[in-house]
Amino acid sequence: MPPKRWVITKHDFESVKLLSEQLSVSPLVAALLISRGHRTKEKAEKFLNPNYADLHEPFLLKGMEEAVERVLRAIDNREKILIWGDYDVDGTTGTVLLRQTLKILGAETGFHVPNRFTEGYGINIPALEDAKANGFTLAISVDCGIRSFEPLEWARTNGLDFIVTDHHLSDETKGNPPAVAVVNPNQSDCDYPDKNLAGVGVAFKLAHALLRERGKENLLKDFLKIAAIGTVADVMQLTGENRTIVSLGLKDLPTTTNLGLKALMEVSDCRSDMTSYHIGFRIAPRINAAGRMDVAKHVVELFETEDFNEARKLAGILDSRNRERQQVQQQITELALLETKDIRNQKFVVVAGENWHRGVIGLAASRIAEKLYRPTIVLSIENGFGHGSGRSIADFHLLNALESCSELFEQFGGHAAAAGMKIETNKIDLLRKALNLHAERTLPVGELTAVLKIDAVVTSQTLGLNLVKELRSFEPFGAGNPKPVFVTKGLIIKDEPLVMKEKHLKLRLRDESGKQFEAVWWDGVEKSIGRTLSPESRIELAYTAEANSWQGNTRLQLVVEDLRADN
């Protein structure tokens, strides 16, 4: 991987000293709060102590009044309501959340989560025809629908009312699709205070409004757990309302009574205190694997079962699908990387292969974008079409790039960081040229070097488990609120790094006084190429700090972000 450009945050001593005294916290904690935008005592306390009162008024969302009125009328008239969810974690958790809400309110519901391979992303007319034939008169989308113009026009013409709940960006030229109501914080004329809600977050707000209208708002807290899972899994900004949702949801996860969630936590080895890490790296991949490798309806079935044996069976299926996903992802990523050998003149990577597994091409694109630090699209060519998934890099708006050559696509959609598309195979070369031209115009010189933002310089003498303890109040970590990265200078490598599982490195370090530290570098064998790691080498280490517990002992562990020679 190319070397990163280190940017060390500078702190104002007087501001740090003042906030440290006001909050009775260490100067380091105060410095971190200020650098993340929480400069006053009031803002800092709100950040450090999320609570239920921080949730925004749901009716501030444009379209919410119309949506609530139509749903409650359907319940009162005993109409059948279809929940149409996307097949990723965000969509499936939102589907479960709305189904459970409507069940509490006495509604008769069904659900449809499209098959990624036979139906593709979004809403399609054949499935709407089936819904209409089965007596559904109202449908509600979750995490999709904002660009489904033709299917929703069919629904309106054929007497199937539709409510769109989504968080993706709309087509600026077409506006909103034809629907009874569109609830999406990212509508240009929506004044909702937080634009960063996940799809499940928008579904949560609809649930909030519905439960309040029927005098059951006290039950809303039960849905924070599942809203937290979808929010973290969709890599949404863990600031503002999302921070509240995830923070409160995490507290209740270990004591959940949902049999499916209990079984999933069991198979994911999540049985103690839960953090955003447990959702993002243990629970979410297993849920996502259902949509990537098989059919996502297993997720809804898992969360709705009332039989623990059935829950364990379904959780086991998701676990095995996830292992299969890992193997296929590695194969596709290696094949895709072979297609990127000559990228010296490319600012945007577009690679394609015959019948690459559509369920993992997005993950492959993410891996390539990280490795080469370029926005990347990976396409699977099937029957004359390329089905693609794209991932971006910092400060490059992927959806805007696609819109700059929209005439090339059969369909596309997404947001700044990720997108999906379908394109005729004979247009892929044109797409590559168009996106590289767009990147040439919009990516300044030097932007193809990954930036490592370092929060503070920490001396080796002050580095210990107390630092990890102080940082717990910053949880949940994630997009928008990453784990703080520190740098410590003057460390010395004691001996040859230990290679773990042929790809990771464990480093034993010491400072000038002899104080010792352990560090782990995930994928360090590849990332350390070109670095000097010989014994007695002096280094500057950029890392995150965590507590590593093993057999009753807890020790400080430094997780390497990068390192360089300390001359």
Confidence class of residue 2 from pLDDT cuts 50, 70 and 90?
Answer: low
CB contact at 8 A, 70 and 180: yes
CA distances 92 to 29, 30, 98, 166, Å, are 37, 39, 10, 13
CB contact at 8 A, 144 and 84: yes
Closest Cα to residue 236, out of 275, 280, 193? 280
Give the C-alpha separation, 32 to 13, whole Å.
12
Give the C-alpha separation, 266 to 263, whole Å.
5
pLDDT value of position 299: 95
pLDDT tens for 471-525 read: 999 999 999 999 999 999 999 999 999 999 999 999 999 999 999 999 999 999 9
Q: In the chain, what are the domains?
A: 5-10+451-565 (2.40.50.460), 54-252 (3.90.1640.30), 256-336 (no CATH), 339-442 (3.10.310.30)
pLDDT value of position 171: 84
pLDDT value of position 446: 62
pLDDT value of position 121: 81
Report helix, strand or coil for 99: helix
CB contact at 8 A, 454 and 448: no
pLDDT value of position 296: 87
Report helix, strand or coil for 77: coil
pLDDT value of position 93: 97
**Beta pairing class for 538-550 and 553-565:** antiparallel
pLDDT tens for 204-227 read: 999 999 999 999 999 999 999 999
Cβ neighbour number for residue 174 with a 10 Å cutoff? 9
Report helix, strand or coil for 192: coil
CA distances 370 to 87, 90, 333, 505, Å, are 24, 23, 12, 19
Report helix, strand or coil for 135: coil
pLDDT tens for 276-307 read: 999 999 999 999 999 888 778 999 999 999 99
> Given the structure tokens 């994630």, which residue do they identify?
478
**What average pLDDT does range 178-185 have in this prediction?**
97
pLDDT above 90 coverage of the chain, percent? 86
> Given the structure tokens 């029957």, which residue do they identify?
383
CA distances 349 to 10, 261, 415, 429, Å, are 34, 38, 18, 11
Closest Cα to residue 112, out of 503, 248, 126, 21? 126
**What average pLDDT does range 436-452 have in this prediction?**
86
Give 380: exposed, middle or buried? Use CB within 10 Å, 0-12, 13-18, 19+: buried
Q: Give the chain's count of helices (H) and strands (E).
A: 20, 19
Report helix, strand or coil for 312: helix
Give 336: exposed, middle or buried? Use CB within 10 Å, 0-12, 13-18, 19+: buried
Given a cut of 90, whether residue 395 has pLDDT beyond it is: no
Report helix, strand or coil for 291: helix
Torsion-angle region of 456 (φ positive above 0: left; ψ -120 to 50: alpha; else: beta):
beta
Give the C-alpha separation, 160 to 301, whole Å.
25
Confidence class of residue 170 from pLDDT cuts 50, 70 and 90?
Answer: confident
pLDDT value of position 552: 76
Q: Which residues contact 501 (CB under 8 A, 6 or more apart)?
A: none
Give the C-alpha separation, 284 to 198, whole Å.
14
Q: Where are the alpha helices (DSSP H) in 296-360?
A: 297-304, 308-338
pLDDT tens for 130-155 read: 999 999 999 999 999 999 999 999 99
Q: Look up residue 472 and give its two tokens.
A: 């717990």
**What is the edge-to-edge ordering of all strands in the sheet holding 418-424?**
349-354, 376-382, 385-391, 418-424, 409-414
CA 565 to chain centre: 34
CB contact at 8 A, 111 and 83: yes
